[in-house]
């Protein structure tokens, strides 16, 4: 579906290390100097979903195909980025192209890792990035206000007048140092700013990059960040990016298991991160199940059956007739499609059916 989440943050907070971990590659250079990342790195990441394995045990397919999400490693922003500092305009442009933001913030002390902002202060670091994004959005809003004001002066142009009211509301919100995503706009009001692709209107997930000693419990820095994230209705994940990169780089499952056991980990924190990003993008999963493959498919929350069918092939949506649907829990309980059918758990749904997360589906179509 080509939806992307972009990793952002100040220089040397662990962005590229995190990218290397989530993409299980060494594509993003992780080094201890400013602007190590200039061109954004992009990687497709499998979304961990234990339901795939449970279904595969019942069906024994030839292959298992997880769904994926696209992660982009964007260069570190600095104070003044909105005015072009540190190639800021280029990097802000990269952020504008993604659908959600993963904001990595340093929550550890290490004199060997370069830091130009002084003492460790996650709130200050967060505010530096927030301010730069807000200033860039303010610039976009003010430009549109100038154009809309001219139209709004014509008494009969009620649409322009309504847009201007929303734009002025957004301007005031940004000038107070607040992000647009925290402004409770109606669906109609949002249309006034949809064409601006505002940076602070994107959903955000905070990653507290902590030291090894704090990876399970957090520390005073992550607690400060959690308080700030909670106040704006955002999520936060605690992890040690370097350890996660080490785990992801191991080819042997046994080695990974031993390594995680040493650190008292049941699973990589990356799994939670990727799953959280998936939800942040307002995505969910349905499955197709057969001997050839058990496969996860990505859809938007709220999509109807024909749209979900179109993810497999456009012809499925064009010629949609109906969908055979089995709830995931029912399939696991009865063990097969035939058993679900015999027990009345296979439903026939039409064009208005809203697909639920975990649905097992088979589409009938005619083109």
Q: What is the pLDDT of residues 38-69, one digit of tens each?
A: 356 788 888 899 999 999 999 999 999 999 88
Instruction: Walk across the sheet containing 293-300 and list its strands.
Output: 63-65, 293-300, 283-289, 360-365, 320-326, 347-349
Taking residues 65-78, what's their average pLDDT? 80
Higher pLDDT, 26 or 80: 80
Query: Which of 103, 95, 45 lies closest to 70 in space, CA to CA?
Result: 45
Query: Which of 75, 89, 167 lies closest to 132 in space, CA to CA?
Result: 89
Q: What is the pLDDT of residues 210-261, one digit of tens each?
A: 999 999 999 999 999 999 999 888 999 999 999 999 998 888 889 999 999 9
Domains present along the chain, CATH in parentheses? 130-200 (1.10.150.300), 302-365 (3.10.20.30)
Count how many residues are written for the chain.
367
DSSP assignment of 203-221, as one string?
A: -EEEEEEE-GGGTTT--HH
pLDDT of 109 reads: 84
DSSP assignment of 241-265, as one string?
A: HHHHHHHHH---HHHHHHHHHHTT-
pLDDT of 35 reads: 34
Please check if 302 is assigned to a binding site: no
Please check if 12 is assigned to a binding site: yes
Please check if 158 is assigned to a binding site: no
Higher pLDDT, 220 or 97: 220
Query: Which of 40, 12, 213 lies closest to 125 in space, CA to CA?
Result: 12
Q: Indicate whether 24 pLDDT > 50.
A: yes
Q: What is the pLDDT of residues 271-301, one digit of tens each?
A: 999 999 999 999 999 999 999 999 999 999 9
Q: How confident is the model at residue 95 (pLDDT cuts 50, 70, 90)?
A: confident
Q: Indicate whether 97 pLDDT > 80.
A: yes
pLDDT of 38 reads: 39
Taking residues 322-348, what's their average pLDDT? 97
Please check if 15 is assigned to a binding site: yes
pLDDT of 260 reads: 93
pTM of the model: 0.84
CA 246, 294, 99, 237 dihedral sign is negative
pLDDT of 211 reads: 94
Instruction: Retrieve residue 134's tokens.
Output: 């807000």
Taking residues 90-98, what's their average pLDDT? 78
Q: Indicate whether 324 pLDDT > 50.
A: yes
pLDDT of 116 reads: 66
Average pLDDT score over the chain: 87
């Amino acid at each position: 579906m080509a939806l992307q989440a972009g990793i952002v943050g100040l220089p040397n907070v662990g962005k590229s290390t995190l990218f290397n971990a989530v993409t299980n590659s060494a594509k993003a250079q992780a080094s201890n100097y400013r602007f190590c990342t200039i061109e954004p790195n992009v990687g497709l990441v499998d979304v961990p979903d234990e339901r795939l394995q449970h279904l595969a045990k019942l069906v024994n397919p030839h292959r298992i195909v997880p769904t994926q999400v696209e992660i982009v490693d964007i260069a570190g922003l600095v104070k003044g980025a909105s005015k072009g500092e540190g190639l800021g305009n280029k990097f802000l442009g990269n952020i504008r192209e993604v659908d959600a933001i993963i904001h990595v913030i340093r929550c550890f002390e290490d004199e060997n890792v370069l830091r130009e902002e002084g003492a460790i202060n996650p709130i200050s670091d967060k505010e530096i990035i927030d301010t730069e994004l807000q200033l860039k959005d303010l610039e976009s809003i003010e430009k549109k206000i100038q154009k809309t004001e001219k139209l709004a002066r014509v008494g009969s142009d009620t649409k322009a007048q309504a847009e201007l009211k929303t734009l002025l509301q957004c301007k005031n919100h940004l000038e107070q140092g607040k992000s647009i995503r925290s402004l409770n706009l109606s669906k109609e009001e949002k249309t006034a700013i949809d064409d601006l692709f505002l940076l602070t209107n994107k959903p955000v997930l905070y990653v507290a990059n902590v030291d090894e000693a704090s990876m399970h419990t957090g520390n005073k820095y992550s607690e400060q960040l959690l308080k700030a994230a909670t106040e704006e209705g955002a999520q936060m994940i605690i992890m040690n990016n370097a350890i996660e990169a080490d785990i992801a780089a191991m080819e042997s499952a046994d080695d990974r298991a031993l390594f995680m056991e040493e650190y008292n980990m049941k699973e990589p924190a990356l799994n939670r991160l990727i799953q959280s990003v998936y939800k942040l993008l307002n995505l969910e999963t349905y499955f197709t199940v057969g001997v050839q493959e058990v496969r996860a498919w990505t859809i938007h929350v709220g999509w109807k059956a024909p749209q979900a069918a179109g993810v497999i092939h456009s012809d499925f949506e064009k010629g949609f007739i109906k969908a055979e649907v089995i709830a995931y829990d029912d399939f696991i309980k009865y063990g097969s499609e035939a058993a679900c059918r015999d027990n009345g758990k296979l439903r026939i749904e039409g064009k208005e059916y809203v697909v639920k997360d975990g649905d097992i589906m088979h589409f009938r179509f005619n083109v």
